[in-house]
Structure 1
């Protein structure tokens, strides 16, 4: 995936995180992983988190969402 595509994912992650209600930021990261699972396959989730200005360790949370995407569907927006 190109650097610009990773940058776009990072921008979207940051926007989702910033828009999340207080106490729901972790859920927003999981939902991001679910919503963008296809685009995130083969991409360093830690790099996306870092480019979004979030801790590198949040890549683990993004990956949880990607893994959940095979089993769940988003039925209600977080905000």
Structure 2
């Protein structure tokens, strides 16, 4: 995936989250796409910027990527 595709996917997941689950969806995004982010050596800050979500959510994205070592999302 490109950084633009990752940013768009994050935007979609965040904006289409059920009420009260937007931050959880940032975590799920980080868990789901951690491998692509790491292998592509993409900046988390740049992904947030491309997505258009508030930059204050960088910490939440970082948490999701770290969680990927321990959990997998349900289908």
1:30 is aligned to 27
SS of aligned partner of 1:71: coil
Length, aligned pairs only: 73
Unmatched runs of 5 consecutive residues or more in structure 2: none
Q: Structure 1 stretches (4+) deviating beyond 2 angstroms? A: none
2:47 is aligned to 48
1:6 is aligned to 3
Q: Summarize the alignment of residues 58-69 of structure 1 with structure 2, pairs less than 5 Å apart.
A: 58-69=57-68
Unmatched runs of 5 consecutive residues or more in structure 1: none
**Which has more helix, going by share of residues?**
2
- Provide the TM-score with structure 2 as the length reference: 0.88
- Provide the TM-score with structure 1 as the length reference: 0.84
SS of aligned partner of 2:55: coil
- Superposed CA RMSD in Å reads 1.4
Q: Give the structure, 1 or 2, with the largest relative contact order (CA under 8 Å, sep 6 or more).
A: 2
